[in-house]
Structure 1
Amino acid sequence: MKNTLKMSLAATSIMAAMTASAGISIVDTEEGHFSVGGNVELNFNFQDRESHVNGDSELNQDGRVLIEFAGEKYTSNDHYVGVKAQPLFTTTGDVVLDDAYFVFGKKESWAIKAGRFEAYDMFPVGLDVFLDYSGDTANDLYTDKYAYLYQSKEARGRGSDGQIMYYQQFGDLYVEIGAMLGDRSNLFNGLYHGKTIDSSKDSFLVRPVIAYQMGDFKVAASVETNLVSDAIVANGVAISDRTGYGLTGNWTSGDWSVNANVAYMDAVDENNLTTGVNALWNNLGLGYIHAINEYENKEFSSWAEGDVTVSTWYASYAFRDVLEVQDFSILLGTYYTTVDNKLDQQSDATAFAEEDDFGARVRLFYEF
Structure 2
Amino acid sequence: MKNTFKLSLAAVLVSSAMAANAGISIVDNEQGNFSIGGDVEFDFNFQDRDSQTANEFDQTGRILLEFSGERYTENGHVFQVNVQPLMGSDGNVNLDDAWFAFGAQDGWNLRMGRFEAFDMFPVGQDTFLEYSGDTANDLVVEGSAYVYQMKEGRGRGSSGQLMYSQSFNNLYLELASMIGERDVLFAGDTYHGKPIETTKDALLLRPVVGYQAGNFGIAASMEANLVKDAVTVRGNNGELVDISDRMGYGVTANYTTADWNLIANFAYMDAVDENNMSVGVNALYKGFGLGYIHAANEYENKVVSTNYASGDVNVNTWYASYEFADVLSVDDFSIYLGAYYTTVDNKTDASQTLATNFAEDDDKGVRVRFKYFF
Report the TM-score when normalising by structure 2.
0.94
**CA, structure 1 residues 14+94, in 2 after alignment: closer, same or farther (shift >3 Å)?**
closer
Over residues 307-364 of structure 1, what are the superposed CA-to-partner deviations in whole Å (9 max), with x where a residue is unaligned?
Answer: 0000000000011111111111101100000000011342125410100000110001
Compute the displacement of 1:20 (Å).
5.8
**CA, structure 1 residues 9+270, in 2 after alignment: closer, same or farther (shift >3 Å)?**
closer
Higher mean alpha-carbon deviation, 11-20 vs 21-30, is at 11-20
Q: Distance in 2 between matches of 1:336 and 1:170?
A: 41
Over residues 257-280 of structure 1, what are the superposed CA-to-partner deviations in whole Å (9 max), with x where a residue is unaligned?
Answer: 000000000000000000000000
Segments of 5+ residues of structure 2 without an aligned counterpart are 235-239
Q: Distance in 2 between matches of 1:81 and 1:13?
A: 20
Quick check: 1:301 aligned with 2:306? yes
Within-5 A mapping of 1:13-52: 15=14, 19=18, 22-26=21-25, 27-52=27-52
Compute the displacement of 1:19 (Å).
3.3
Q: Distance in 2 between matches of 1:263 and 1:142?
A: 15
Superposition RMSD in Å: 1.8
Select the residue among 105, 120, 127 that pairs with 2:118. Answer: 120
Select the residue among 327, 331, 340 that pairs with 2:332. Answer: 327
SS at match of 2:153: coil
Q: Distance in 2 between matches of 1:269 and 1:248?
A: 26
Report the TM-score when normalising by structure 1.
0.95
Compute the displacement of 1:139 (Å).
1.7
Q: Distance in 2 between matches of 1:68 and 1:17?
A: 13
Compute the displacement of 1:31 (Å).
1.0
Quick check: 1:227 aligned with 2:233? no
Q: Give the structure 1 partner of residue 88 of structure 2.
A: 90
Equivalent pair of 1:139/1:153 in contact (CA under 8 Å) = no
**CA, structure 1 residues 8+187, in 2 after alignment: closer, same or farther (shift >3 Å)?**
closer
Q: Distance in 2 between matches of 1:143 and 1:16?
A: 45
Q: Distance in 2 between matches of 1:152 and 1:146?
A: 18
Q: Give the structure 1 partner of residue 294 of structure 2.
A: 290
Q: Give the structure 1 partner of residue 190 of structure 2.
A: 191
Within-5 A mapping of 1:207-218: 207-218=206-217
Segments of 5+ residues of structure 1 without an aligned counterpart are none
Report the number of matched residues.
364
**CA, structure 1 residues 72+340, in 2 after alignment: closer, same or farther (shift >3 Å)?**
same
Within-5 A mapping of 1:161-180: 161-180=159-178
Q: Give the structure 2 partner of residue 273 of structure 1.
A: 277
The amino acid across from 1:220 in the alignment is A
Select the residue among 337, 344, 354 that pairs with 1:339. Answer: 344
Select the residue among 95, 104, 112 that pairs with 1:106. Answer: 104
Q: Distance in 1 between matches of 2:368 and 2:141?
A: 28
Over residues 34-82 of structure 1, what are the superposed CA-to-partner deviations in whole Å (9 max), with x where a residue is unaligned?
Answer: 0000000001000001133xx2100001100000001111113321111
SS at match of 2:124: coil
Q: Distance in 2 between matches of 1:220 and 1:321?
A: 32
Q: Runs of 4 or more off by more than 4 Å in structure 1?
A: 6-10, 12-18
Q: Distance in 1 between matches of 2:204 and 2:280?
A: 25
